[in-house]
Chain A
Amino acid sequence: MDFRLTSDQEALVAAVDKLAQRFELKPTEFHGLALAGTELERELEDGSYFDIAAVPELGPLAAAMAVERLARLPYTVECALSMLVRPQLAGDLPRPFAVVEHGRPGRFVAGAKTLLLVDGERVSVAHPAAADVEAVDSLYAYPMGRVKGALASTALSAAEAAAIRTWLRIALAAEMSGLLQAAIASAVDHITQRKQFGRPLGTFQALRHRMAECAVLAGGVRWLALKAAGTGTDGDAALAAMHAQESATRIVYDTHQMLAAMGMTLEHPLHLWTYRAKALLSEQGGRGGQASAVAQHCFAAD
C-alpha cells in the first residue's frame, strides 16, 4: 500500500485539472437538464485523454482519477466508458461508447459509435448507424437515447462479458464519486452563503452534521472507486458500485434538501450533478445487482 501519486499520475491529474478549470461554471444562460460538453470532449480527444488507461505509466487508476475530476464539472461528456471500459475490449473500437441495459434508454446512446448491449450476464457489442438510434427527452442530466429496433451485434464470451461488467461497475463508481463530491460542494457553498435567522445556514448543527455524513460517504465512494480501478478485481468493483449507489441515494436527497427551492431551479447547477447521479442509480442492476455481485465475489467462501 502506498497512496502517494507517482510523478506521472501527478502530472496527469494536474493536466486534467487545468483543462477542467475552463469548464467549471455553468453558462448563466443555460437552463436545461443536460449540459453537453462538446468543446470539452473535443479537447479531451485532441489531448488523447481517452487513451490514458493504455499508457503503462498511467493505467486505469489514473484514468479513474480523470473520470472523477471530469464528473465534477457541470458539463457532461462520455468519458467513463471510453477511459475505463473501452481498453478492456479487443481492437480499437470507436467512441463515444454507450450502454443499453435490457433495451432501456441509456446515457449517450443517440451519439454512440459503439454500444454495449447488456442483458443479464450477456454482453454484446454493436456499432449503430445514425438511423438505428434516437435521442429521448428525459429528466436525467445526461443526453439520453435509445435503440430504435433490432441491431446487428457480436456477443462477447462469458469471460469477456464478466470483465466488461466489472469495468462498467468501476466506471460507474468513479463517475459517481465525482458527481457526489460536486453536489456536496454545491450544497456547502449554498449553506455557507444563505442566511436565515440572522446567520448562515451552515452554522446550524443539524445541517452541518448531515453534510459531514454525506462527505464521509462520498469519501468512502472515492476510496473504493480508486481501489477498484487499481486492482481491477470483480469483488472490489462490486463493492465500489454498491457503495456508490447506496451513498448516492442519501447524498442526492440531502444536497437538495440543503438547497431547498433554489435546488429546484434550472438556474442553479445542482441538478447537473444529482440528476446524473440518479441516472447511475439503476445501472448494472442497481443496488440489487451490485449486491448479487458482492455475494458472488466476496461471500463465495463463507
Chain B
Amino acid sequence: MDFNWDDAQRGFRAQVREFLAANLPRDWEALAHGPGSESQSAFSKQFCARLAAAGLLVPHWPARWGGRDADPWTAFILAEEMWEAGEPRGGQYMNVNWIGPTLMRHGNAQQQERYIPPMARGETIWCQGFSEPEAGSDLASLRTRAEKHGDVYRINGQKIWTSYAGHADTCFLLARTSAGKGGISIFLLPMTTPGIIVRQIPSIIGEGDIHEVFFDNVEVPASALLGEEGQAWDIARTALSLERVGIPRFAMAARMLHRAVGMLKRAGRFGQGAIEQAAKARAACEAARFYSYGIVDQRRHGIATGAEASAARYATVMAERQVAEFVVEQVPEALAGGDAMLQAHHQRAIVAGIASGAAEIQLNLIATELLKLPREPR
C-alpha cells in the first residue's frame, strides 16, 4: 500500500496544470460559469479542441479512438485538475467519462465511427435524457416511448432536468420500447431531429444548466438504437458506475475552502470558530478524495467496483456541503459579488446530492450491499 504519487503521475499532473495556465484566459474566473451556458459551451469547444491536440482530452481511451490507453489514475488526475479549475470542458466531461467509453463497449461499428471521433476531437456536446417528470430516482417507471414503425422508431414523451440540452448535438436517450423494467432501450438521438423542443428552466445553478425536452413524433432510424431493445438497464448501469466517481467535486471544494480561508486570514477573521469549521470541512474533503482514489485503484487493478462507489459519492456529498456551509457562514460576501469562483462553486455544490441520482439511493445501496442490512419490503 503506497500513498505517494509516482514520477509519471506527478509529471502528468504538472503537464495538465501547465496546460491550464497557458490556455485558460486571464478572465476565466469572471466568465459566466453556468456549465451549460452559451458562453461556456462555446468556450468548451475551443478549449477541448486544444486539450485534444495536446493529448489531454482522452488519454485513457484506447489508441484506436484517439487516446493512449493511459490508466484510470491518469483519467482521474485529469478530472481533478479540470474540476478544480472550474471545469473548462463544460458538458464535454460526460463524453470523456462515460458516453465515449459506453459507446466503445456497446455501440456498433457505424455508431462508433459516427460519434466517437468528434468526442475525441473535443467538438461535440451530448446530453443525457434520463429523468422525466414522473421518473426521477424511480427511473424504471419512465414513460417516454419509442415505437417501431418499419425502419424507424417514433419517439413521444418528455424529459426534464436535462443538463446541457440547450447546446447538445446528441442525446443519450432512455425510452420505453415495451412494458416493464426490461422494456427500456437507449437511442442516440441527434438534437436537430424534427419534433424536439428544448426549454431552459431558470435555476439557481447557473445559466443553461437544466432543461425540459419534449419529443413530439420524433422519428429516428432503427440504427439509432444502442445495443438491443430492452438493454438500457445493463448499459445505463455501466454508465452510471463510471459517472458515480466521475466528478471529483471534492477537488474544487477543497480549493474553494482554501481560497475562503485565505480571504478570512487577510481580513483578520480566521478565529477559532472558523478554524474548527474549516478543519472539519478540509478533513471531509480529504476523506472523499481517498474514497474516490480507492475506486480508481480498484479500476486500475481490474477489481469490480461495488457499493464502495456509492460510499465515495456520499462522502463527496458530505464534503461539498460542509464547504458550501463554511463559505456562507464565514465569507458571506463571496456570494454577493465578492468572488466569482466561490459563487460558481456554491451554485454547483447544491446539486452534489442530486445530480447523477439522489444521494439517498446511494445510502440504500450502502445499507444493502456494504452493511448487508435486510432489504426494505416493497
Specify which chain A residues have a CB less than 8 angstroms from the CB of B363 in the assembled complex.
208-209, 212-213
Asked if A295 contacts B367 (CB within 8 A), the reply is no
State the Cβ distance, A228 to closest chain B Cβ, in Å.
Answer: 9
Q: A208-B363, A246-B280 are in contact. Are A1 and B286 (CB under 8 A)?
A: no
Asked if A230 contacts B2 (CB within 8 A), the reply is yes
Interface residues on A, range: 35 or more
In chain B, residues 203-238, which have Cβ atoms closer than 8 Å to a Cβ of chain A?
none
For B266-281 the 0/1 string (1 means CB < 8 A from A) is 0000101001101110
B86: CB under 8 A from chain A?
A: no
Asked if A61 contacts B1 (CB within 8 A), the reply is yes
Specify which chain B residues have a CB less than 8 angstroms from the CB of A295 in the assembled complex.
270, 275, 278-279
Asked if B279 contacts A242 (CB within 8 A), the reply is yes
Asked if A290 contacts B376 (CB within 8 A), the reply is no
B265: CB under 8 A from chain A?
A: yes
Asked if A4 contacts B301 (CB within 8 A), the reply is yes
State the Cβ distance, A176 to closest chain B Cβ, in Å.
Answer: 13
Asked if B1 contacts A4 (CB within 8 A), the reply is yes
Q: A223-B291, A302-B261 are in contact. Are A242 and B283 (CB under 8 A)?
A: yes
In chain A, residues 248-302, which have Cβ atoms closer than 8 Å to a Cβ of chain B?
287-288, 290-292, 294-295, 298-299, 302
Asked if B370 contacts A215 (CB within 8 A), the reply is yes
Q: Bound complex: CA of A213 vs CA of B369, how far in Å?
A: 14
**Per DSSP, are chain A's interface residues mostly helix, strand or loop, or mixed?**
helix
Specify which chain B residues have a CB less than 8 angstroms from the CB of A184 in the assembled complex.
371
In chain A, residues 32-63, which have Cβ atoms closer than 8 Å to a Cβ of chain B?
61
* Most chain B C-beta atoms within 10 Å of own C-beta, residue among A5, A199, A203, A240: A203
Asked if B258 contacts A299 (CB within 8 A), the reply is yes
For B348-378 the 0/1 string (1 means CB < 8 A from A) is 0000000000001011101110111111110
Q: A242-B283, A243-B283 are in contact. Are A299 and B373 (CB under 8 A)?
A: no
Q: Pick the contact of A243 from B287, B296, B297, B372 — CB < 8 Å?
A: B287
Q: A294-B282, A302-B261 are in contact. Are A1 and B297 (CB under 8 A)?
A: yes
B12: CB under 8 A from chain A?
A: no
Interface residue tally for chain B (C-beta within 8 Å): 53
Q: Bound complex: CA of A290 vs CA of B278, how far in Å?
A: 11
A221: CB under 8 A from chain B?
A: yes
Asked if B315 contacts A202 (CB within 8 A), the reply is no
A191: CB under 8 A from chain B?
A: yes
Q: Bound complex: CA of A22 vs CA of B162, how far in Å?
A: 55
Asked if B261 contacts A221 (CB within 8 A), the reply is no
Q: A1-B297, A203-B375, A203-B377 are in contact. Are A212 and B366 (CB under 8 A)?
A: yes
Q: Bound complex: CA of A165 vs CA of B272, how far in Å?
A: 20
Given contacts A208-B368, A243-B280, A287-B280, 20 further A-B contacts (CB under 8 A): A2-B297, A2-B300, A4-B297, A191-B373, A212-B366, A215-B371, A216-B314, A220-B288, A221-B287, A230-B1, A239-B279, A239-B286, A242-B279, A243-B284, A288-B276, A292-B272, A294-B279, A295-B270, A295-B279, A298-B279
15 A-B residue pairings within 8 Å (CB atoms)? A1-B2, A1-B3, A1-B4, A203-B375, A208-B371, A215-B311, A215-B366, A219-B287, A227-B290, A230-B1, A231-B3, A243-B284, A291-B275, A294-B283, A295-B279
Nearest first, the 10 closest Cβ-Cβ pairs linking A and B are: A220-B287, A291-B279, A294-B279, A223-B290, A208-B367, A230-B3, A302-B262, A243-B283, A212-B366, A202-B373
Which A residues form the contact surface with B (CB < 8 A)? 1-6, 9, 61, 184, 188, 191-192, 199-200, 202-205, 208-209, 211-213, 215-217, 219-221, 223-224, 226-227, 230-231, 238-240, 242-243, 246, 287-288, 290-292, 294-295, 298-299, 302
Which B residues form the contact surface with A (CB < 8 A)? 1-6, 9, 73, 258-259, 261-262, 265, 270, 272, 275-276, 278-280, 282-284, 286-288, 290-291, 293-294, 296-297, 300-301, 311, 314-315, 318, 360, 362-364, 366-368, 370-377
